[in-house]
Amino acid sequence: MEHVRVEKNKLDLIYNKILQEHNAILLLATTGVLAFIGTFVWSPTNLAGGASLTAIIWIFCSLWYVRVNKRLEAVLQKLDNLKR
């Protein structure tokens, strides 16, 4: 019984760490949008540069988001199996 509790606590800590990564992804994606808006406001002639920077950031964030979601699902699956 004690082993299950220790394993559950470890998985909870891992889950919280991955959730912090999720927050970092959202922050980075928001920064990408703000970079595009900033480019549009300060230099409307350089929209292609701002759009490409935003696209690169969003592609990076979406790939990272998918990877982190898979890890979250794996941790949740382990927690679910622990209860049985």
pLDDT band at 73 (very low <50, low <70, confident <90, very high): very high
Percent of all residues in the chain with a pLDDT value above 90, rounded to a whole number: 26
Domain boundaries, the chain: 2-83
pLDDT at 84: 63
Spell out the long-range contacts of 25-31 with Cβ–Cβ below 8 A and sequence spacing 24 or more.
25/61, 25/64, 25/65, 25/68, 28/57, 28/60, 28/61, 29/57, 29/58, 29/61, 31/57
**Model's pTM, two decimal places?**
0.71
pLDDT at 79: 87
Q: Give per-residue pLDDT as tens, 1-31.
A: 688 888 889 999 999 999 999 888 888 888 8
- The mean predicted confidence, pLDDT, of the chain is 85
Q: Give per-residue pLDDT as tens, 61-70.
A: 889 889 999 9
